[in-house]
Structure 1
Amino acid sequence: MSLLSIIVPCYNEEESILLFHEALCKQVDQMPVDYEIVMVNDGSSDDTLKLLKQLSAIDEHCIYVSFSRNFGKEAAMYAGLKACHGDYAVIMDADLQHPPYLLKDMYAAISEEGYDCAGGLRISRTHDSRLRKFVSHNFYQVINSLSDVEMKEGEGDFRMMKRCMINAILSMKEYNRYSKGLFSFVGFKTKWIPFEDEERAAGNSKWSLKSLFSYAMEGILSFSEAPVHMAMVLGITLCLASVISLGFLLFAPSFAIGLVTILLLLSGIQLIFIGIVGKYVTKDYMENKQRPLYIVKESNLPL
């Protein structure tokens, strides 16, 4: 019988983890697979770890890995994939916004229909604010126009993969990770299964607009060189424009004011693009340090 690994990153999920476990088991117990639930505690400050230990004590399918601090969801997903033993693996959030009932369709797609991956495609955002919807929609427009990898609006981390795809993801050990881009980069035949937006089982979202913006910038910088090319083109254009403007300003009564305005504009644009280049250099600097993606404090993984 095939083994399905269910990877669950957990950060302060004490209110929802038991509800998630109950709903998940109802679904996978009906599937023709053996399964393991790999729950990764990403440095939670509440009782998440205590509950994960309780679940692992009463349910032999449950495995927990606990980080020494919060390393982020990207690290938690990587740790779960690295720890799992399944022929297939699925990544799910613990807040039940990734509906467990979709697992049967995902499994059928990759075990019977010839797909390497089956992902959930969220087709509505009824529980998001207008601002959040706007940012999300425009992010996919921007990144698809700037990068060589294609990402669908509504796709996320909720996907089931064959072992060949799991190994491909694990082979990319970069420190600065953007899994949505990595999933697209490795390719493999993927089926998208639409589902309606689900409300959180409990608690509040851990993703603020600031963290979503930072995550979006990570995606753009990880999979596109366009910002650097834009800096070069704009720099050349501004140099030419400043030469022309200076010619006009020599004969204008407000020469001094105009000159100061141009200098301030050019200085501001220079600083913006120096910052962009600096972000790329910083990412390369962090890669060269070769620090671990995460540090495990404790686990019940079999030796």
Structure 2
Amino acid sequence: MTFVLKKKVSVIIPSYNEEKNIGFLIEQINETLSNTNYDYELIFVDDGSSDNTLNEIKFNAQLHANVFYIELSKNFGKDHALKAGIGMAQGDAVITMDADMQHPPHLILKMLKYWENGYDIIYTYRQNSNPHAKAYQKATSKLFYKGINMLSDIKLENGTADFRLMDEKVVKQLKLIDEYEIFFRGIIKWAGYKQIGIPYTPSKRHTGEASYSFFKLVKLAVGSIMAFSARPLYLVTGIGLFFSAMAILYIPYVLFSYFAGYAVSGWASVLATVAFFGGLQLLVLGIIGVYVGKIFMQSKHRPNYIIRSTNVMSIKNVNNDFIGV
């Protein structure tokens, strides 16, 4: 009699103040995967929640043998929480998804079919604008993807989500990446491999409100663009060269006006010119300063996250990430 080992799927779910969504999400994933020919584990990463999220995860971990938790020591951000979960995952395939039920669990079955057909990465992107998002969220989302596609070296579909499946060999390479500010949506595109995108329509949040504010979205956009390209530096260099050329072309006019005897001095035009170029210089220095700041933080080699507690048995110190249990 021949025994065939089932393939294992690890589902990584970063969670921040999602106490009322945990039990419902586990129920939905179990309904989706329980009748398949896969073993699966659910790894929740509590990213410094201020509500009862961690206790809710621990309660469900006692009820379900395949539910695990990772408690981070504070809020490190979604991408770092994903990295913590990926570092613990032991599956033949790893799926990442949000805890708010906007990523429909039934789409996992479609991902698994593509995976079995040889695709290494199956990612998702919003087919249409999110009908449940606020106006400013829709506007900033469009600006984000336009900006990153224009100014960085990667191309992302509008609405690319953190709902994806990755083969084990992809995950092994992701565990080796050691970046201070990691942006998984960009890293996945950059990594290559055989990829395919699946369009989806986001579901309404089961409970709660989105935790991303306008300023957090702006910070994410700036950090993501600068993480994948030096193009902003080239852009400001081009602007500087343009205005330098314009200044050189202005010299003949100044000389002609002087020798012709009708040069008129005006404090308003001088003040406006100084203010304009002063602002331009500050902008250029600001962009350079952000890059220098990123180099400074990367040189410290601080861990991306610190684990306070976990019930995952196979604890590994991956990429010098400090694990304090």
Same fold (TM over 0.5): yes
TM norm structure 2 = 0.89
2:91 pairs with 1:80: no
5+ long unaligned stretches in structure 1 = none
Q: Quick one: which of 292, 299, 302 aligns to 2:303? A: 292
Determine the structure 2 residue equivalent to 1:121.
125
Q: CA deviation at 1:106?
A: 0.4
- Which of the two has higher C-alpha Rg? 2
Amino acid in the other structure paired with 2:99 = A
Pairing of 1:68-107 with structure 2 (within 5 A): 68-107=73-112
How far apart in 2 are the matches of 1:65 and 1:193? 29
How far apart in 1 are the matches of 2:63 and 2:288? 51
How far apart in 2 are the matches of 1:207 and 1:254? 52
Q: Quick one: which of 6, 9, 18 aligns to 1:4? A: 9
Paired residues of 1:7 and 1:80 also in contact (CA < 8 A):
yes
Determine the structure 1 residue equivalent to 2:236.
231
Q: CA deviation at 1:84?
A: 0.7
Amino acid in the other structure paired with 2:201 = E
Q: Quick one: which of 225, 250, 273 aligns to 1:220? A: 225
TM norm structure 1 = 0.95
How far apart in 2 are the matches of 1:259 and 1:121? 51
Pairing of 1:1-303 with structure 2 (within 5 A): 1-111=6-116, 113-124=117-128, 125-245=130-250, 247-248=253-254, 253=264, 255-303=266-314
Q: CA deviation at 1:262?
A: 0.6
Deviation string for 1:10-65 (max 9, x for gaps)? 11111211111111111111221001101000011111111111011111001100
Q: CA deviation at 1:231?
A: 1.2
How far apart in 1 are the matches of 2:263 and 2:34? 81
Q: CA deviation at 1:134?
A: 2.7
SS of residue paired to 1:202: coil
How far apart in 1 are the matches of 2:279 and 2:196? 45
SS of residue paired to 1:100: coil
How far apart in 1 are the matches of 2:64 and 2:302? 34
How far apart in 2 are the matches of 1:230 and 1:68? 39
SS of residue paired to 2:59: helix
Alignment size in residue pairs: 302
Determine the structure 1 residue equivalent to 2:321.
none
Amino acid in the other structure paired with 1:301 = V
How far apart in 2 are the matches of 1:234 and 1:294? 39
5+ long unaligned stretches in structure 2 = 1-5, 315-325
Q: CA deviation at 1:243?
A: 4.5
